Amino acid sequence: MKTLTWSPQMSLGIVEMDNAHKELIEELTEIMVAPDHEFVTCLLRIVELLETDFREEETLMEKMNYPALREHRAEHADLLSTLHHVVPKAMNGEYVLPRQVLGMLPQWFLNHLIRMDAELVKALSKCGAKPSIHAQASVP
């Protein structure tokens, strides 16, 4: 599996978003070397992180009436759907497909960061929102 390492070029300038991305990268690094008996726990943790991060992003996009909300949400939903499809396989001791899916996650992440999250941050800047992605974020 291809690994991913956090670099300053990945920073979007929103602390919560950057921290969430760093945590995801750390979890991906761990799962890529996890033995089979630890794999399911790691996989469930990644799914949980993504569900939480995506929900926070989508709540913010809703509050600011973000024009690309539908496309952004669809990309999140597609990834989560794929992960939810492979979780039962891993729970049944079938690790090949889940590991292949996770092997594609670093590239998905980089593409999403560049195409979707960077555009969201630009929109946040334009509307003068405070640099926070939590639901209580102030969006004018």
The total domain count for the chain is 1
H or E element at residue 22: helix 15-33
Does the predicted model carry a pTM greater than 0.85? Answer: no
If you average pLDDT over residues 17-42, what whole number do you get?
90
121: domain CATH number is 1.20.120.50
- The verdict on residue 27 lying in a domain is yes
- The verdict on residue 132 lying in a domain is no
- The verdict on residue 135 lying in a domain is no
The whole domain housing 119 covers: 14-127
pLDDT tens, residue by residue, 113-127: 989 998 998 888 887
Q: What is the DSSP string of 28-72?
A: HHHHHH--HHHHHHHHHHHHHHHHHHHHHHHHHHHHTT-TTHHHH
- The verdict on residue 140 lying in a domain is no
pLDDT for 11 equals 78
pLDDT for 41 equals 96
pLDDT range class, residue 2, cuts 50, 70, 90: low
The percentage of residues in the chain with a pLDDT greater than 90, rounded to a whole number, is 54
